[in-house]
């Protein structure tokens, strides 16, 4: 792995950790919002659900990027 690949891997690994932390925070917000009562009119709950869905999608994207960086280059 060359220096550029190492830098990219480090950057994306950090981004993955940040995204996982944001996902955990969204899950906490979802639980707190759920305790507020009626979920059908609970905007905080709906926003947390959207943040969770986007978090999972972003984590999957980042995982694929990291996987591609780790693949040996065909040079």
Q: For every one of its 75 residues, what pLDDT tens digit does the chain have, with 9 covering 90 and above? A: 899 999 999 999 999 999 999 999 999 999 999 898 877 788 999 999 999 999 999 999 999 999 999 987 765
Position 68 scores a pLDDT of: 95
Position 31 scores a pLDDT of: 93
| Backbone dihedral angles phi then psi of residue 39, each to the nearest 5 degrees | -75, -20
CA dihedral 6, 12, 18, 20 (to 10 degrees): -120
Position 22 scores a pLDDT of: 98
> What domains does the chain contain, in order, with CATH numbers?
3-70 (1.10.287)
Position 42 scores a pLDDT of: 86
Q: Which pair of tokens denotes residue 46?
A: 């709906």
């Amino acid at each position: 792995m060359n220096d550029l690949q190492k830098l990219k891997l480090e950057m994306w690994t950090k981004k993955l950790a940040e995204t996982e932390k944001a996902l955990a925070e969204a899950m906490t917000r979802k639980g707190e919002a759920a305790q507020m009562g009626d979920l059908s009119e609970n905007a905080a709950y709906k926003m947390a659900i959207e943040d969770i869905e986007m978090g999972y999608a972003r984590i999957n994207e980042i995982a694929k990027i990291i996987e591609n960086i780790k693949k040996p280059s065909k040079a």
